[in-house]
């Protein structure tokens, strides 16, 4: 079954480029193009679409506003001439971010990624929109770093910053531990202390009021003890 596509862009030339790319890929079916997000929004109320290629700077109703109000299961790929909106787009759960001029190889890479995500969702239990497999974090003024959730071991508070320790790297980002922990799936991560959030599947041992993860021991804060007991130990005593 082909993936149904719409293109939303106020530039006719940009629409033509994307339309040509879509027509080159047999797995895609172009259903409609729109020169503004208002018409696209009305269309989506009565039609199911798999992929939306969405521009950002459009009159009256821009692409980010459109994305923030989007419901349903459509996957959105941003197509824009502006690099600075990437972080906001990923926070709003865009699947990919293509910067104009968009070459066909980069376009194809985005489509292949969506195909893989859809195959995974059909072959396993449905993935909730707020339970991503990866996240993007801003590691400096211009760079967004993709981190797979399965690679995260522990997140440590550094006051207004956090240190994310993964199986291969460490990243320091400007964010509080509380706000970052809220973005993580609650069934995969647990906060055990005001300074630490732990990946549950990375826990090697629990002894007394401490947890051992990859050879490092972390203290369980008194106020977090009951939640740890309930979530990890099924209410057995620690």
What is the pLDDT at residue 179?
A: 87
Q: 71 pLDDT band (50/70/90 cuts)?
A: confident
Per residue in 150-165, pLDDT (tens digit) is: 999 999 998 788 999 9
pLDDT tens for each residue of 193-230: 999 999 999 998 888 788 999 889 999 988 888 788 77
Structure tokens at 119: 């195959």
pTM of the model: 0.54
């Amino acid at each position: 079954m082909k993936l149904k596509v719409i293109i939303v862009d106020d530039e006719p030339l940009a629409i033509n480029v994307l339309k040509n790319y879509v027509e080159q890929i047999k797995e895609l079916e172009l259903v409609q193009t729109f020169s503004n997000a208002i018409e696209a929004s009305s269309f989506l109320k009565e039609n199911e679409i798999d992929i939306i290629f969405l521009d950002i700077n459009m009159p009256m109703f821009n692409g980010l506003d459109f994305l923030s109000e989007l419901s349903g299961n459509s996957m959105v790929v941003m197509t824009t001439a502006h690099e600075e909106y990437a972080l906001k787009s990923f926070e709003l759960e865009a699947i990919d971010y293509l910067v104009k001029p968009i070459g066909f190889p980069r376009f194809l890479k985005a489509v292949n990624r969506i195909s893989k995500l859809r195959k995974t969702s059909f072959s396993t239990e449905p993935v909730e929109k707020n339970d991503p497999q990866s996240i993007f974090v801003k590691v400096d003024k211009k760079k967004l770093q993709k981190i797979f959730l399965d690679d995260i071991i522990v997140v440590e508070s550094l006051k207004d910053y956090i240190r994310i320790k993964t199986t291969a790297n460490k990243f320091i980002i400007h964010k509080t531990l509380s706000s970052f922990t809220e973005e993580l799936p609650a069934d995969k991560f647990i906060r055990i202390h005001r300074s630490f959030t732990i990946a549950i599947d990375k826990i090697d041992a629990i002894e007394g009021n401490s947890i051992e993860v990859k050879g490092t021991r972390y203290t369980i804060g008194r106020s977090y003890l009951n939640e740890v007991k309930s979530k990890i130990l099924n209410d057995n005593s620690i």
